[in-house]
């Protein structure tokens, strides 16, 4: 990614588009205090530089029938490349897996899994997760409630942000 340094105008644009990704350029320009044309130019630069990776609709999980979130810690036996990449490839193809990180510490991988309900999770666990290659331990942690879920990143508290 090309190095880009963001000024306050850029940060305000990013904050606004994280909050509402469908703001019209006219609205956005008013919000950040520019006229439409330079505002649009900055947005295009942020897009081309890769700072803005895309725009996405956020759905209500319950509303589309995906009410249960489970965090799954998974240990794999040994980290030989073959088993490891087989596991990664498998995970990438599972629609129920929303995110997967390789972690230091406790478990090897942390998966966020989204399914309709508990029976669906049991099916997914038995029918899919437990059959993945190289796994030695699986620990399921059910989300009882969502205390906080941000769709965006806070830029205001970063070093370099003035005001």
Partner DNA sequence: TCATCATTGGCATTATATGCCAACACATAA
Partner DNA sequence: TTATGTGTTGGCATATAATGCCAATGATGA
Site for DNA in 35-64 (CB under 7 A): 35-42
Q: What are the Cα distances from residue 83, in Å, to 40, 76, 78, 87?
A: 47, 8, 8, 6
The alpha-carbon radius of gyration of the chain (Å, integer) is: 20
- Separation between Cα atoms, residue 11 and residue 7, nearest integer Å: 6
Q: Which is nearer to DNA, 13 or 111 (CB)?
A: 13
- Separation between Cα atoms, residue 17 and residue 29, nearest integer Å: 11
The minimum distance between CB 69 and a copy of itself, in angstroms, equals 7
- Separation between Cα atoms, residue 100 and residue 92, nearest integer Å: 8
- Separation between Cα atoms, residue 70 and residue 110, nearest integer Å: 10
| Interface segment toward a copy of itself; rule CB under 8 A; list 30-38, 75-83, 125-133, 135-143 | 135-143
The correct pick among 78, 104, 162, 163 for binding a copy of itself (CB under 8 A) is 104
Structure tokens that stand for 79 in this block? 């980290």
| Interface segment toward DNA; rule CB under 7 A; list 33-41, 52-60, 133-141, 144-152 | 33-41
The correct pick among 41, 44, 79, 88 for binding a copy of itself (CB under 8 A) is 88
Q: Which is nearer to DNA, 36 or 67 (CB)?
A: 36
**Which residues have CB under 8 Å from 10's CB, separation 6+?**
42, 46, 51
| Interface segment toward a copy of itself; rule CB under 8 A; list 30-38, 75-83, 130-138, 140-148 | 140-148
Q: Which is nearer to a copy of itself, 103 or 130 (CB)?
A: 103
Per partner kind, with CB cut-offs from 5 to 8 A, the member of DNA, a copy of itself, none near residue 35 is DNA
Q: Which is nearer to DNA, 94 or 155 (CB)?
A: 155
- Separation between Cα atoms, residue 85 and residue 81, nearest integer Å: 6
The minimum distance between CB 16 and DNA, in angstroms, equals 12
């Amino acid at each position: 990614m090309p190095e880009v340094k963001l000024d306050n105008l850029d940060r305000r644009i990013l904050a606004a588009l994280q909050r509402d990704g469908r703001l019209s350029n006219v609205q956005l320009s008013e919000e950040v205090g520019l006229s439409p044309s330079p505002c649009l130019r900055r947005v295009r630069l942020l897009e081309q530089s890769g700072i803005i990776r895309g725009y996405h609709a956020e759905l209500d999980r319950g509303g589309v029938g995906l009410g249960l979130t489970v965090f799954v810690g998974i240990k794999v036996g040994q980290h030989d490349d073959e088993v490891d990449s087989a596991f990664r490839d498998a995970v990438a193809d599972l629609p129920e897996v929303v995110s997967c990180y390789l972690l230091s510490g406790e478990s090897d991988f942390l998966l966020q899994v989204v399914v309709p309900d508990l029976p669906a999770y049991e099916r997914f666990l038995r029918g899919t997760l437990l059959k993945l290659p190289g796994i030695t331990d699986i620990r399921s942690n059910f989300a009882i409630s969502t205390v906080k879920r941000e769709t965006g990143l806070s830029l205001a508290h970063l070093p370099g942000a003035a005001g």
